[in-house]
Amino acid sequence: MFTPSLSRLARRASFLLSLVALLLLSSNALHAQTETTSPKPRVKAMQLVGGKVYYNNVPLSAGDAQFYAMAKSAPAAAAFRKAAKIRGWNYFWWIYGGLNAVTGVAQLSSGIDEFRAQGAANVVVGGALVGITIPREQRRQRLLAFGVSEYNKAVNEDSWED
């Protein structure tokens, strides 16, 4: 029976990781192209369009939106800060969980019985780590919507006081 050496398994695992990295980079590039070609909303205040915050027709990250909101509304700034933290941790969980799952698939496909149980565990743990980000992203969207509405309320109140 043929049993691959550890160096062969390492090459196979590094190939799979490289393939996943290339797929992630290409999907980000395609996403960036669709964002730049999409029509920009015409806004005077902050607006949430498709999960992205816009201010004066300029897309902002949650951290940048927090910077703008600090002068006008403390609750909006806090919501944007929380949304930025959630996104940062979600990137970590996506990468760590994805690497765990890919390592598990490599172990399962190695053909060595010693690695099968560990590979199955890695696939399950990796899938769970990626899966926990779904409700976190939903919470992030709610925080962004709350932050935008609070900022716009504060801006409208300021305009009435002038």
At 113 the pLDDT is 80
Output 49-54 pairs: Cβ under 8 A, ≥24 positions apart: 51/141, 51/144, 53/80, 53/144, 53/147, 53/148
Domain encompassing residue 65: 6-161
Would you say residue 36 lies in a domain? Answer: yes
Would you say residue 82 lies in a domain? Answer: yes
CA–CA separation, 115 and 110 (whole Å): 8
Would you say residue 1 lies in a domain? Answer: no
As beta bridge partners, residue 53 has 48, 60
Would you say residue 56 lies in a domain? Answer: yes
Of the pLDDT bands very low, low, confident and very high (cuts 50, 70, 90), residue 125 is very high
| Total domains present in the chain | 1
Which residues lie below 8 Å from residue 108, measured CB to CB, with a gap of 6+? 115, 116, 119, 120, 123
Residue with tokens 């669709």: 34
pTM greater than 0.85? no
Residue with tokens 């970590």: 92
Would you say residue 72 lies in a domain? Answer: yes
What mean pLDDT is reported for the chain?
A: 81
As beta bridge partners, residue 60 has 53
Q: Which of 42-46, 87-91, 121-125, 128-132 is the least confident region?
A: 42-46
Which residues lie below 8 Å from residue 12, measured CB to CB, with a gap of 6+? 4, 106, 109, 110
Element containing residue 61 per DSSP (H, E): none
Residue with tokens 């305009």: 159
Q: Which of 84-88, 127-131, 135-139, 155-159 is the least confident region?
A: 155-159
